[in-house]
């Protein structure tokens, strides 16, 4: 098996374990069996010796009494044929050898053995007294050879060992067969796991029989498939991320809680003038000019924050930073996007300058417009007024001269007087609208009251009230004329569009100057494009030219409220006057 040392191989260990257990068990068995056999043979030998002694002692006494040694010899010869008998000696009562068979040991009579297993000289020595009646007649000494017993035990041992050996070989064979089959499949699994580890996710192992290994193989195949799909998705996500990072025009960095940079994209290096990986390990604060607030890099706000970036060469530029945070295995990881907003800032500055210029121009053009209106009113007054006065004087003269003599001429002169008087009124009204002199003479509140009075007269069905608070006498000419024109336009709109029966005008100076014109008409219709009128646009331009704010609140069916606030130069003041 690839990469597995032989002694660590499952197959080798399995076989070695089986062989070891077999050898131990069979050795114990053989050892036990040999002990049993030995005891059985020893007992048999003991019994044989005892029985032979009993026979001889029972028979030999009578022969010894009669001193019939020939018959005794004949009798003993039959017994001496026993294959295990080593020697047989019969002594008389004096201890002299009467008869001897076999090979008795030379010298003194051997000490009898208690049991064949106690014999240490290869022979089982036994003795018994020969008694006839109550008289001792002699002694029988007998030795039985242990060779046959030992041979039988040796044969039994050899057979047991042969059987045990065969059993061991058989066990090894069976174990090897099972082991080979098993370990081959496990080996395939191990090799497949190595291939998967090396990145080959197309690997599949045959499952084979539906046993534990088969089930493991099936589970392995499922797991590899799942890992393959997840790895592919992960690789795609990483590739996408890499492409985004590498092609992004914004700088991107990641860092941990210690705010030391872990990764940066090419745009980041380009933006700050660093090479390749030079930013890795640096503190993120290195990228900013001055000391940002302590949680700048680790407190995501969910919105972009402006800061001042510092390049490697020390140059400073405006920056927009967005910080995001994720947790990976309980550890926070931050990602920040850094966007160079130099161009935007320049555009903003240019825009601001243009806006200010625009405001100035509007202011100027409104002032010119008012001046023109004033001029026109003066011309109308001076030229047309004097002409009208001259016409009236002439007509008066004609009427007086014609008198009663010429009533038709007198009537015509009267008609001219009448028409010129109406013309004079019309021109006067025109002059007042062009330039409300009361504004110059009596101030804003009086001018508004006069204008509202005229408007009420023209629209008797709409109740209109004016409420003022605070000091409104010294707001300046441009503020006065703007507020006057705004009220004029709002009232015109109410009359033209609102279908209201009530208008409430509130003007106050409490630090800033605020004007509200609220009607209870139909309101602005949402979604419907407004007619391209100039009234509201003009109001907005006037308000912006004075650096103020305009708001138009409207709910369909519940009226419209035009709110204007202008920066004021007067301190707030309490109390107010109401003019119905």
Ligand X SMILES: Nc1ncnc2c1ncn2[C@@H]1O[C@H](COP(=O)(O)OP(=O)(O)OP(=O)(O)O)[C@@H](O)[C@H]1O
Which of 497, 514, 518, 542 is in the footprint of ligand X by CB under 6 A? 497
What is the rounded CA–CA span in Å between residue 83 and residue 145? Answer: 9
Specify which residues 129 forms β-bridges with.
139
CB-CB contact of 18 with 175 (8 Å): yes
By three-state DSSP, how is residue 527 classified?
A: coil
Please choose, from the candidates 501, 516, 422, 506, the residue with its C-alpha nearest in 3D space to the C-alpha of residue 459. Answer: 501
88 vs 562 by CB, closer to ligand X: 562
Site for ligand X contains 496 (CB under 6 A): yes
Query: Binding partner of residue 168 among Mg ion, ligand X, none, CB under 5 to 8 Å per kind?
Result: none
Closest distance of CB 353 from Mg ion, Å: 31
CB of 530 to ligand X, least distance (A): 4
**Stretches 101-109, 253-261, 263-271, 530-538: which one binds ligand X (CB under 6 A)?**
530-538
Q: Is position 232 an interface residue for ligand X (rule: CB under 6 A)?
A: no
Which two structure tokens, joined as six digits, stand for 131?
């008694």
Position 495 contacts ligand X (CB under 6 A): no
> What is the C-alpha separation between 92 and 94, in angstroms, rounded?
5
**408 lies in the binding site for ligand X (CB under 6 A):** no
Residue 351: name its binding partner from ligand X, Mg ion, none (Cβ under 5 to 8 Å by kind).
none
Show the CA angle centred on residue 196, arms to residues 191 and 202, nearest 5°: 105
**Binding residue (CB under 6 A) for ligand X from 144, 146, 487, 498:** 498
499: DSSP letter: -
Q: In the stretch 441-480, what mask flags binding to ligand X with x, by CB under 6 A?
A: ----------------------------------------
Q: Under the criterion CB under 6 A, does residue 527 sit at the interface with ligand X?
A: no
Name the residue number minimizing CB distance to Mg ion.
Answer: 535
Per-residue tokens: 51: 């029985």
Piece in contact with ligand X (CB under 6 A), picked from 154-162, 329-337, 504-512, 528-536: 528-536
Residue 467, token pair as written in the block = 């409420």
Q: Which is nearer to ligand X, 407 or 533 (CB)?
A: 533
DSSP class per residue in 137-148: EEEEEEEEESHH
Give residues 289-348 in contact with Mg ion (rule: CB under 5 A): none
Q: Is 520 in the site for ligand X (CB under 6 A)?
A: no
* Least distance in angstroms from the C-beta of 255 to Mg ion: 58
Q: Which two tokens stand for residue 275?
A: 């090479």
CB-closest chain residue to ligand X: 533
Considering the rule CB under 6 A, would residue 278 count as an interface residue with ligand X?
Answer: no
Only one residue has tokens 């098996």, namely 1
How many Å apart are CA 538 and CA 137, to the nearest integer? 167
Give the binding range for Mg ion (CB under 5 A) out of 63-71, 283-291, 411-419, 492-500. 492-500
Question: Measured between alpha carbons, how far is residue 123 from residues 120, 292, 476 in Å?
Answer: 7, 110, 153
Could you say which of Mg ion, ligand X, none residue 309 binds, taking C-beta under 5 to 8 angstroms by partner kind?
none
Nearer to ligand X, 436 or 523 (CB): 523
Residue 530 binds which one of Mg ion, ligand X, none, with CB within 5 to 8 A depending on kind?
Answer: ligand X
Please report how close the Cβ of residue 459 comes to Mg ion at its closest, in angstroms.
15
Q: Is 531 in the site for ligand X (CB under 6 A)?
A: yes
Residue for token pair 């003038």 = 273
Long-range contact set of residues 565-568: C-beta below 8 Å, sequence gap at least 24: 565/512, 565/513, 565/514, 565/515, 566/479, 566/482, 566/483, 566/512, 566/513, 566/514, 566/515, 567/512, 567/513, 568/475, 568/509, 568/511, 568/512, 568/513
Residue 553, Cα to own-chain centre: how many angstroms?
A: 45
**The binder of Mg ion chosen from 175, 264, 493, 560 (CB under 5 A):** 493
CB half-sphere exposure, 80, CA atoms < 13 A: 19
Q: Is residue 535 a contact point for Mg ion (CB under 5 A)?
A: yes
Q: Which residue, 22 or 519, is less far from ligand X as judged by CB?
A: 519
Interface mask toward ligand X for 553-572; x: CB under 6 A: -------x------------
Binding flag, residue 560, Mg ion (CB under 5 A): no
> From the CB of residue 92, how many other CB atoms can be counted at a distance below 10 Å?
17
Decide: is 519 part of the binding site for ligand X (CB under 6 A): yes
Distance of CA 60 to the CA centre of its chain: 110
Of 496 and 577, CB closest to ligand X: 496
- Choices 71-79, 280-288, 336-344, 523-531; region in contact with ligand X by CB under 6 A: 523-531
Residue 483 Rama label (left phi>0; alpha psi -120 to 50; beta): alpha
Residue 526 lies near ligand X (rule: CB under 6 A): no
| Nearest distance, CB of residue 490 and Mg ion, angstroms | 9
H helices of 435-574, in order, are 437-441, 444-458, 477-493, 535-545
Hey, what are 65's tokens? 């009494």
- Confirm or reject binding of residue 521 to ligand X (CB under 6 A): yes
Q: Measure the CA angle with vertex 441, ends 571 and 512; round to 5°.
A: 20
Residue 521 or residue 548: which is nearer to ligand X going by CB?
Answer: 521
Minimal distance, residue 554 CB to Mg ion, in Å: 14
Residue 480, interface with Mg ion (CB under 5 A)? no
Query: Token match 């009993």: residue?
Result: 54
Judged by CB under 6 A, which stretch of 4-12, 111-119, 288-296, 489-497 contacts ligand X?
Answer: 489-497
Residue closer to ligand X, measured from CB, 530 or 577: 530
What angle, rounded to 10 degrees, do the helices at 407-434 and 385-402 form? 160
The site for Mg ion (CB under 5 A) is made up of 493, 533, 535
The site for ligand X (CB under 6 A) is made up of 493-494, 496-498, 519, 521-524, 530-531, 533-537, 560
């Amino acid at each position: 098996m690839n990469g597995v040392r032989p002694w660590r191989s499952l197959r080798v260990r399995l076989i070695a374990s089986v062989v070891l257990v077999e050898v131990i068990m069979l050795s114990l068995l053989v050892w036990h069996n040999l002990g049993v056999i030995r005891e059985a043979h020893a007992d048999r030998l003991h019994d044989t010796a005892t029985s032979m002694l009993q026979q001889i002692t029972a028979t030999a006494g009578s022969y010894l009494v009669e001193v019939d040694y020939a018959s005794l010899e004949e009798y003993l010869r039959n017994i001496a044929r026993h294959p295990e008998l080593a020697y047989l000696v019969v002594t008389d009562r004096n201890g002299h050898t009467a008869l001897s068979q076999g090979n008795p040991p030379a010298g003194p009579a051997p000490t009898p053995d208690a049991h064949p297993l106690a014999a240490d000289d290869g022979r089982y020595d036994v003795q018994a007294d020969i008694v006839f009646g109550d008289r001792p007649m002699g002694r029988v000494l007998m030795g039985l050879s242990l060779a046959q017993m030992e041979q039988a035990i040796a044969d039994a041992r050899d057979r047991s060992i042969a059987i045990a050996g065969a059993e061991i070989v058989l066990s090894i064979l069976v174990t090897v067969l099972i082991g080979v089959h098993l370990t081959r499949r496990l080996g395939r699994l191990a090799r497949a796991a190595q291939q998967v580890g090396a990145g080959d996710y197309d690997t599949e192992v045959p499952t084979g029989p539906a046993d534990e290994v088969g089930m493991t193989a099936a589970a392995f195949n499922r797991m590899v498939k799942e890992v393959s799909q997840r790895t592919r998705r992960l690789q795609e996500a990483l590739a996408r991320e890499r492409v985004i990072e590498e092609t992004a025009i914004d700088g991107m960095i990641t860092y941990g809680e210690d705010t030391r940079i872990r990764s940066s994209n090419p745009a980041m290096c380009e933006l700050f003038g660093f090479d390749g990986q030079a930013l890795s390990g640096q503190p993120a604060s290195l990228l900013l000019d001055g000391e940002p607030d302590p949680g700048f890099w680790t407190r995501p706000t969910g919105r972009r924050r402006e800061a001042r970036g510092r390049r490697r060469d020390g140059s400073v530029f405006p920056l927009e930073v967005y910080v995001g945070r994720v947790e990976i295995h309980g550890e926070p990881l931050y990602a920040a996007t850094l966007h160079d907003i130099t161009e935007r800032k320049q555009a903003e500055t240019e825009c601001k300058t243009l806006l200010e210029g625009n405001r100035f121009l509007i202011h100027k053009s409104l002032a010119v417009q008012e001046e023109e209106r004033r001029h026109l009113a003066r011309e109308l007054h001076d030229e047309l007024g004097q002409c009208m006065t001259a016409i009236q004087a002439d007509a008066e003269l004609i009427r007086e001269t014609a008198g009663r003599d010429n009533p038709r001429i007198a009537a015509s002169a009267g008609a001219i007087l009448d028409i010129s008087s109406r013309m004079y009124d019309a021109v006067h009204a025109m002059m007042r609208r062009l330039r409300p002199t009361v504004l110059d003479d009596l101030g804003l509140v009086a001018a508004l009251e006069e204008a509202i009075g005229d408007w009420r007269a023209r629209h008797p069905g709409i109740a209109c009230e004016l409420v003022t608070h605070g000091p409104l006498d010294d707001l300046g000419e441009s503020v006065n004329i703007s507020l006057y024109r705004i009220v004029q336009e709002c009232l015109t709109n109410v009359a033209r569009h609102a279908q209201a029966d009530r208008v409430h005008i509130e003007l106050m100076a409490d630090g800033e100057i605020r004007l509200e014109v609220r009607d209870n008409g139909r309101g602005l219709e949402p979604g419907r494009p407004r007619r391209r009128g100039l009234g509201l646009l003009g109001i907005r331009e006037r308000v912006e030219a004075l650096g103020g704010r305009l708001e138009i609140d409207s709910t369909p069916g519940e009226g419209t409220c035009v709110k204007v606030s202008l920066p004021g130069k007067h301190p707030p003041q309490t109390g107010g006057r109401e003019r119905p």
